[in-house]
C-alpha cells in the first residue's frame, strides 16, 4: 500500500515533469494525454484537451509523484494543486477508507470501474484534502 502525492498543473505538466526529471536525474516518463483515452459518446473531448497530460509519474527517491493537467474549464489554484492518492491491492480497504473519508466531506467521483482501474474514485475530506483511490492491479504506467 502507498499514499502518493498527485500534482495538477494548468496546461504545463510536460514542462514541470521535464524540469523535475532533470533536477532528480531521471529519464522522462511515459505520458498519457487526454486525447489517448477511449472516447465516450456522451462526453466528447474538446480539442484543447487532447494534448494535455492526463497522467504521468516520476519515482523520486522511492516515492511516486504523479502529475496531470487540469481539464479545461476545471478550477485551478496554484499552491492548492495537489491531492493524495491511496493505491492499494485490497478492494475492501479502498471502499472502507473512501466511505470513512467522505463523512463530512464531498464526493468528487464515486468509486467505479474506469478504463485504467477496476476501482477508482475521489473524495474531498472534511478538512479540504482531496484523496484519490485506485485499486492496484499490479500493472504499471509511467
H or E element, residue 121: strand 120-124
Mean pLDDT of 41-45: 89
Mean pLDDT of 36-54: 92
Report the predicted TM-score, pTM, of the whole model to 2 decimal places.
0.72
Q: Is the pLDDT of residue 116 over 80?
A: yes
Torsion of CA 140, 16, 12, 117, to 10 degrees: 10
pLDDT at 54: 95
pLDDT at 63: 87
The CA-based angle 1-102-121, given to 5 degrees, is: 55
- Looking at the chain, the whole-number percentage of residues with pLDDT higher than 70 is 96
Torsion of CA 40, 80, 64, 13, to 10 degrees: 60
pLDDT at 75: 87
Q: Is the pLDDT of residue 12 over 50?
A: yes
**Per-residue pLDDT tens digits for 78-93:** 877 888 888 889 999 9
Amino acid at each position: 500500500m502507498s499514499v502518493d502525492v498527485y500534482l495538477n498543473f494548468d496546461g504545463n505538466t510536460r514542462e514541470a515533469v521535464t524540469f523535475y526529471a532533470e533536477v532528480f536525474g531521471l529519464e522522462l516518463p511515459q505520458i498519457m494525454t487526454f486525447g489517448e483515452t477511449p472516447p465516450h459518446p456522451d462526453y466528447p473531448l474538446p480539442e484543447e484537451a487532447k494534448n494535455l497530460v492526463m497522467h504521468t509519474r516520476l519515482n523520486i527517491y522511492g516515492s511516486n509523484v504523479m502529475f496531470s493537467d487540469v481539464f479545461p474549464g476545471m478550477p485551478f489554484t496554484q499552491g492548492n494543486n495537489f491531492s493524495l492518492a491511496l493505491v492499494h491491492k485490497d478492494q475492501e480497504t479502498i471502499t472502507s477508507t473512501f466511505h470513512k473519508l467522505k463523512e463530512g466531506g464531498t464526493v468528487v467521483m464515486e468509486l467505479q470501474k474506469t478504463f485504467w482501474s477496476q476501482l477508482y474514485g475521489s473524495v474531498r475530506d472534511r478538512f479540504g484534502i482531496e484523496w484519490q483511490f485506485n485499486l492496484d492491479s499490479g500493472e504499471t504506467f509511467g
